[in-house]
Structure 1
Amino acid sequence: MSRPNVIGVDGDYLAQRLTQPTGPYAGLTVVDSTESTNADLDRQRPPDRTVLIARQQTAGEGRRSRSWTSPPGGLYASIYYAPGVPGHRLPWLTLLAGVALVNVSLSTGVPAVLKWPNDLLLGPDRKKGAGVLATTSENGVVLGIGLNVQPVEAELAPGGLQPTSLAGEGADELDLTVLAERLLVELDRWEAPWRAAGGDPFASGLHEEYRRHCVTLGQEVRVELGDGSFEGTARYLETDGTLVVRDAEGHDRSVPAGDVVHLRAAT
């Protein structure tokens, strides 16, 4: 199917390509601007696998209630999932989003890796290129993704990460519609088998794919919690996606949430 030259994201094209009966998504809407695509979908309680994309967000939110600026030129999407998997496995949706973002970035020729849990690090200097936020409700999860496509201002991100974008790292594809389609296809590629496996990250292959891209594992890190911090070596992921860090006293500590700062590679 040919596509007209549309500035921004072409919602009609994406809906025809990706929504039922031939595609995996129940519905797909593109709006010019909104405060937050996550908040919009959370209020609507739409059908499972409903997609909302905004060309601009005016009040986006990141992890731990931090603001996430979303100017025109980025890709801002939220997807409502009601996967019917055990609640303790739902956190894997955010790790799954990281996997999808890595693969989309790699498809544009940009080197990409993950810092736990879902920080997309782009280019040789491993700067931050995306934000992921999941909002859990009684019936499902709204998964929000913001990918920097056009150049961004160099404001320091949480965890001491410098921001960057696909354009800033020399990507060979910057068309927002193409990138949106690749992202939604990648999300379905991993979410469908994960859901079919009851949210089991091992049976679905998601755990191995995430581990392959995550550079936090094996690193010496500082974990910054709300009430302090500690240093240690990131060892592995538990079945619910929790990071296990061995501290200086040799104790393994589970980290379900918190900012992780890479210090240096473990020896």
Structure 2
Amino acid sequence: MPDTRRALLDALADGPVPGPELADRLGVSRAAVWKQVEALREDGLGIESTDDGYRVTDVSEFGGAAIAYGLDAPFEIEYHDSIGSTNERVRELADEGREDVAVVANEQTAGRGRLDRGWTGPSGGVYCSLLLRPDVPLAHSPVYTLAAAVAVARAAREAGVDARIKWPNDVLVLDDESERGGQKLCGILTEMEGEADRVKWLIVGIGINANVEPEDLPEGATSLLAERGEPVDRRIFTQRLLETFDELRSDPDSILDAWREHAATLGQRVRVETPGGEVVGKTVDVEFPGALIVETDDGERERVTAGDCEHLRPV
């Protein structure tokens, strides 16, 4: 979304604004303002011209302009009704030198999960990849996965769904029936490129089953629609996700406490398949930048930084 259009959306969010005033505030001609207003109308935003100026009368349920309108976070929004992979698109933007871009899609046809597992995201989801350039060491990158999980969990709870976080990268709705202890609502994949032991760019890919019909979900998964019994406003949900993530990344010291508050894994007996072998025991904490602390059956404490975690039923 061009900078002028985003600035126009921010101005319109404050209420009716006359065309000449908009032109002055944006530093463009009145003709340019009219052109951008028409583009926003084509993108699904209802804008009418009144005696007091341009005024937003209707916001489409989902789309780039709808998400950007009233968004209190500095992300540029690029929206696709359908895309192969939002992460792959963000990689292209990273190569162009961009930052603070959120690529959002309604449907994803060629996504990738951990260990290069392929998956598709049915229509009705919120598939969002964030392009960041944090000035941090490479070793700190896992904390952004935790921040994304917290942002999803909080947005889901605001929508009336009690979502919990399963280490390292899943958000669940808990139940007593499934083997993993809950139905998967969201998966997160973080990718990065480094330069001299600093992060050059970081991609946080977030795939949420929002308004996905139950019959379109894979086994072991759920959606906000299935849990609520009615669709969620994906525009509001996505805005809250982006705003919460932005708040957390600006205060990294707050992320671990926020993660603990929403964690399903802490206190659980788990089996973690790590590159160095299997770790079995009870989880007792998480440490910066995202390591899981497991107390094994022989009383030792293992610090697990990566692996597939399975929640085990109590002995």
CA distance, structure 1, for counterparts of residue 157 and residue 57 of structure 2: 24
1:105 to 148, 156, 163: 156
Letter in 2 for 1:14: I
Matched residue, 1:189: 247
Matched residue, 1:168: 226
Secondary structure in structure 1 of the residue aligned to 2:223: coil
CA distance, structure 2, for counterparts of residue 69 and residue 83 of structure 1: 29
67-76 or 43-52, which deviates more:
43-52
Query: How far off its partner does 1:215 sit?
Result: 2.1
TM-score when normalising by structure 1: 0.85
Matched residue, 2:22: none
- Alpha carbons 1:33, 1:58 under 8 Å: kept: yes
Question: Are 1:244 and 2:293 matched, yes or no?
Answer: yes
Question: Are 1:4 and 2:55 matched, yes or no?
Answer: no
Letter in 2 for 1:128: K
Matched residue, 2:185: 129
Matched residue, 2:208: 147
CA distance, structure 2, for counterparts of residue 113 and residue 205 of structure 1: 18
TM-score when normalising by structure 2: 0.72
2:167 to 92, 116, 119: 116
184-193 or 257-266, which deviates more:
257-266
2:310 to 247, 261, 264: 261
Matched residue, 1:199: none
Letter in 2 for 1:81: L
Query: How far off its partner does 1:192 sit?
Result: 1.8
Residue 172 to residue 58, structure 1, CA distance change in 2 (3 Å): closer
Between structure 1 and structure 2, the one with the greater Rg is 2
Count matched residues.
247
CA distance, structure 2, for counterparts of residue 26 and residue 218 of structure 1: 36
Where in structure 1 are there 5+ consecutive unaligned residues? 157-161, 195-203
Matched residue, 1:201: none
Letter in 2 for 1:115: K
Which fold has the larger relative contact order, with Cα–Cα distance below 8 Å and residues 6 or more apart in sequence?
1
Identity across aligned pairs (percent)? 33
Secondary structure in structure 2 of the residue aligned to 1:232: strand
Question: Are 1:76 and 2:134 matched, yes or no?
Answer: no
Residue 205 to residue 172, structure 1, CA distance change in 2 (3 Å): farther
CA distance, structure 2, for counterparts of residue 227 and residue 252 of structure 1: 15
- Alpha carbons 1:110, 1:171 under 8 Å: kept: no
Written as runs of structure 1 = structure 2, the 5 A alignment for 1:57-96 is: 57-96=108-147
CA distance, structure 2, for counterparts of residue 73 and residue 240 of structure 1: 32
Question: Are 1:29 and 2:78 matched, yes or no?
Answer: yes
Matched residue, 2:9: none
Where in structure 2 are there 5+ consecutive unaligned residues? 1-12, 14-55, 177-181, 195-199
Query: How far off its partner does 1:171 sit?
Result: 6.0
CA distance, structure 1, for counterparts of residue 276 and residue 135 of structure 2: 34
Matched residue, 1:14: 67
Matched residue, 2:43: none
